[in-house]
Structure 1
Amino acid sequence: MKEYILQKERIFHFLALALIAGSLFLEDPIQKMVVLVTGILGLLVLSALKKQKILVIIYLVLFFAAGIFYYLVSEGKLNF
Structure 2
Amino acid sequence: MDTRTESDFLGEVKIPQKALYGINAFRARENFPSDQVFHPEWYSSMGEVKLACYRACKSFLRAKSNAYPEQELLLSL
The bucket for the TM-score relative to the shorter chain is: 0.3 to 0.5
Question: As a proportion of its length, which structure holds more helix?
Answer: 1
| TM-score computed with the length of structure 2 as normaliser | 0.33
Question: Which of the pair has more CA radius of gyration?
Answer: 2
| TM-score computed with the length of structure 1 as normaliser | 0.32
Higher relative contact order (CA 8 A, sep 6+): 1
